[in-house]
Amino acid sequence: MIPAKEVIPTDAKIYEVLSLAMRYFFAFMGVLIVGRAFSWLRKDRRLKHRRLKQLPDAGTIGILTVEQGSKQLKPGEAIPVPHEGVLGYLRTCDVVVPVDDVANAHLDFTFVDGKGLFIYPRRGCEASVDGVALTSRRVSQQYPMQHGSTLEIGQAVLRLGVFAGLDVKEAIHYCEMPEAPAGEACIPPDAPPVYPPYPPQEYPPYPQPPYVQPPYQQGSDQQPPYRQSPYQPLNPPAQPPYAPPMNEPDGSPWQGGDDHAY
């Protein structure tokens, strides 16, 4: 026992003590590093969510508007289109078209910057772009869909609208159009002339209270004559700025687009 103790050099003893002390530090550092990595992950996730809210159509190239559909997919509905994927009846497809005679996975599509949306029907599936039946891969590559093109599959007719900024030939016209479901992208240039009419609306309500009280006390039965007189001056300025956005969901946005592009 005694000689063994003498053999151990003091350096080694010091090292042993040091190393034993340091292990708590190392464990602490490990936990710290992992904690920081995970807090980074969490914050990045929040950042991503915030960005997604800012950019609702990030990653999509445009929309397909239904011109002829079914009960589940009514005309006028808009389906966002990603860069590439599968179009078909199934819910797992990237673009879901629940219309008769559309196969579960009907066709593959790929968007190429500057050229358009290429449509490749699957085996046994028929599709035509602007009336041209896509019978082979070569035909598909000759006739990509561009802004305003129609796609006919089964009993569905869909019209493609490409968002502004994607370098497709006709895309430039798109932002000049009054409608634009890509409203998110188009707001800045259009918005300033639209908003000025709104502030005047806020002023009429202030004079209203003194006017309102007497008619109510006198006869609540006489509502029709009262309603007409004070509201009439208010309505005309309110309607025109609202009109274009109101039309968006109802009518197909490309009716105007045709005038410009075709």
Partner 1 sequence: MRTKDLGKPLSRAVTVFFCSAFLLLFLRDFKWQGLALAVAVPMLNVLTTNLLPKLFPSDKLLLSLTNFLCALGILVLYDTNPSYAYAQAVYYFIGLVAMVICIYIIRLIRSFRFLVWPMMLAALALLVLPLLIGKETFGAKNWFYVGSVSVQPSEVVKLVLVIALARFMADRRMFPWLFFSAGCLGILMLQKDLGTALLYFFTTILLFYASSGNLALTGIGLAAGAGAAVAGYHMFAHVKRRVAIWQNPWSDYDNAGYQIIHSLMAIASGGLFGVGLGLGSPKTIPVYHTDFIFSVICEQFGLIFGCCVLLMYVALIWRGAAIAMATRTSFHGLLAMGITILLGLQTFVIIGGVLKLIPLTGVTMPFVSYGGTSLVSSLCLIGLLQGVASLNEDNLKEDLRLATME
Which residues in this chain contact partner 1 in the complex, by CB under 8 A?
15-16, 18-20, 22-27, 29-34, 36-41, 43-45, 47-48, 51, 54-55, 58-59, 82-86, 92, 108, 163-165, 184-186, 188-189
Q: Which is nearer to partner 1, 6 or 11 (CB)?
A: 11
User: What DSSP string describes 145-191?
Assistant: B-TT-EEEETTEEEEEEEPTTS--TTHHHHHHSS--TTHHHHHHHHH
Reduced to 3 states, what is the DSSP secondary structure of residue 213? helix
Using CA atoms, how far apart are residues 262 and 145, in angstroms rounded to an integer?
14
Closest among 148, 146, 102, 104 to 127, alpha carbons compared: 102
Q: Which is nearer to partner 1, 30 or 240 (CB)?
A: 30
Using CA atoms, how far apart are residues 171 and 251, in angstroms rounded to an integer?
20
Q: Which is nearer to partner 1, 101 or 184 (CB)?
A: 184
Using CA atoms, how far apart are residues 254 and 262, in angstroms rounded to an integer?
11
Q: Which is nearer to partner 1, 20 or 243 (CB)?
A: 20
* Beta-bridge partner residues of 162: 62
State in angstroms the smallest separation of the CB of 63 from partner 1: 15
Q: Which is nearer to partner 1, 32 or 212 (CB)?
A: 32
State in angstroms the smallest separation of the CB of 42 from partner 1: 10
Q: Which is nearer to partner 1, 77 or 173 (CB)?
A: 173
CB 161 within 8 A of CB 183: no
State in angstroms the smallest separation of the CB of 191 from partner 1: 11
State in angstroms the smallest separation of the CB of 127 from partner 1: 16
Using CA atoms, how far apart are residues 97 and 233, in angstroms rounded to an integer?
46
Alpha helices in 55-182 (DSSP H): 137-142, 171-176
